[in-house]
Each structure stands twice: as structure tokens, then as C-alpha cells.
Amino acid sequence: MLEIGLVGLGTIARAQHLPAIAANPGMQLAAIASRNARLDGVASYPDLAALLAAEPAIAAISLCTPPQGRFDLAMAALQAGRHLMLEKPPGATLSEIGALQDAAQARGLTLFATWHSREAAAVEAARAWLSGKTLSSVTIEWREDVRKWHPGQEWIWKAGGLGVFDPGINALSILTALVPDVVLLRADLHIPQGRETPIAADLHLSAQGVPITATFDWRLAKDEIWRIRFETDQGTLMLDDGGAQASIDGTVLHSGENREYTRLYARFAQLVAAGQSDVDLAPLRLVADAFLIGTHHSTHPFTP
């Protein structure tokens, strides 16, 4: 039985992590660390330091806090000899993740940087269909209403919170899982006056000469669009609903229910058992590149 300590009882921890851990017969939620919350029947601590000090038998920590400040928590968990699973993005910077990789490796611990959208129901089917076909272009459209999906989350508007790249990096995680050698050519970042992160972004990328465009926009008031369109020599593959459904020229190839976090925790258990780590920085590198070369455009102030 792998005992897990979970840190940060916010939106994603409650909606996905708690049910996924509960559904895994080889795992047990042994404790939580939360500034505000308590869970009935589960040891609850005000912070990770208190959890680590009181619970030496907990072998693994899952961090569900915002990216800013995650590094100190992650390093504390590794230095206390615990395996570690990170929500996406794995950190606020690339350099801090390198330091975590070194710390995990030096102690023989598992570090798992998760990308939940790669576990969406139709991503594997899309990969299989694309295999052997010649890609001519990719178009990403990732639009949602920030007021619906991120109510009250001030951290997403602060430096390191990624702004619209918080959902956009999910699209980039699918893209980089399916298409090799993606590089960023140009980025336009639309930043509301008085905020530190973009509310929208337009990217131009390339993969071995194949043009890729991405539009990320938080200003959609209607239903969300999480779509990637792959044009090939043998038809058009559409990945919709964040990777849950794949269709070819309008005919559904595969669709399925959301088991993203069930799969992530199963993979975490496998990695721990095998003494391995899984850290792919490709999606975060593209976001970092967008912040490096992106042209900033000031846009209307955002009121929650």
C-alpha cells in the first residue's frame, strides 16, 4: 500500500486527486496539509513541514498547490526522503525543476511531473492514427471563460502563475506528446492593464517545417473550445474536448470518459515500484520561450 500525503486542498485536489487516490486499491490518502481545510478521517496538518515531521511512514507526497512557491515544498518533500508527484506545470521556472531532478536522483526517489491532458481518452488513438501520415499543419484553439474556470484564483494573474498559459499548457502537452521537435517562432501576449500574466496569447510554432498556430483566450463567454486540428496527407484529425474525442474528417474515431487522474496515479505507483522518474519539460519550455520572446500588448483591465 502506497501511503500518500496531499498538499493544497483546492479546486483540482478536491475534483480529481481525492477521487483518483480513493479509487486506486494500492494507495491510501494518509494525510493532508492545508492552510484552511480538514478532512474527516484523514490526518490534517497546517503545512507540509508539520506533515513530514509527524508522518515518517508516508512514502509519497502529491503537490496540488499553485506553481509559485511549489519549489520549496517539493524540495522539502524530497529532502525528507519522499517520492513526489507534481501538478502541472511542474514549477514556476525551468531551473528549479532541474534542481528537483538532481535531488530526486541523488536520493533514489521518484519525481513525476504530471501532464493530465496527455491522459485524455483519445490522445493515444490520435497518436496511433497520426503514425505514418505526413502532417501539413496544426491549429490549436483553446478558449474558455476565466471567470467560470478560475474564480477567485489571484495566483494565476501574478508572475509565475502563467495566466492563459495555465490551460494553454495542456494543449502544448498534447501537441508535444504527438509531434516531435516543436519550436516557438513568435508569440503575442495580451496582458490586461494592472495584471502580470496574459489573458490571451497567439503563438506561431514549427515542427520540422510544419506550421503550427495556437490561440489561447480566456475571454470566451460561452462554452469552452479545447481543440487541436491536424491536417495530414490522408485527412483531418480533430482532437476535441481537451483530448477526450478524436474524429477523422468528421467521423468519430474514439471518445471516452475522463480518467486522466486515475491514470496519473496508476502511473505514479508504477514509477515508484520501478524506481523511476518521469519529467518531460517540453510543454513548459515552450511557455517559457513565449515569455522570453513574446511581444507584450496591453489590453483592457480584467475585473473578476
Active site residues: 88
Alpha carbon 160 to chain centroid distance?
14
Question: Of 155 and 302, which has the nearer Cβ to ligand NAP?
Answer: 155
Number of other residues whose CB lies within 10 A of the CB of residue 150: 21
What does R_g of the chain's alpha carbons equal in angstroms?
A: 19
Residues 142 and 225: their CA atoms lie apart, in Å, by 6
Tell the smallest beta-carbon distance from residue 65 to ligand NAP (Å).
Answer: 4
DSSP state of 65: S
Among candidates 277, 227, 242, which has minimal Cα distance to 90? 277
What amino acid is encoded at 80 in this protein? A
CB of 64 to ligand NAP, least distance (A): 5
Report the interface residues with ligand NAP, using CB under 6 A: 8-13, 34-37, 64-67, 69, 87-88, 116, 153, 155, 166
Q: Are 43 and 70 in contact (CB under 8 A)?
A: no
CA 60 – CA 33 distance, rounded (Å): 13
CA–CA gap between residue 291 and residue 275 (Å, rounded):
34
If the CB atoms of residues 36 and 303 are measured against ligand NAP, the closer one turns out to be 36
Compute the distance between CA of residue 152 and CA of residue 42 in angstroms, rounded to an integer: 27
Phi, psi of 242, rounded to the nearest 5 degrees: 70, 20
Closest CA to 89 of 304, 294, 291: 291
User: What is the closest distance, in whole angstroms, from the C-beta atom of residue 156 to ligand NAP in the complex?
Assistant: 8
C-beta closer to ligand NAP: residue 248 or 286: 286
Least Cβ distance, residue 17 to ligand NAP (angstroms): 9
Q: Residue 18 or 138: which CB sits closer to ligand NAP?
A: 18
C-beta closer to ligand NAP: residue 13 or 104: 13
CB of 38 to ligand NAP, least distance (A): 10
Q: Residue 94: count other Cβ atoms within 10 Å of its Cβ.
A: 14
Closest distance between ligand NAP and the C-beta of residue 127, in Å? 21
DSSP letters, 31-45, are EEE-SS--BTTBEEE
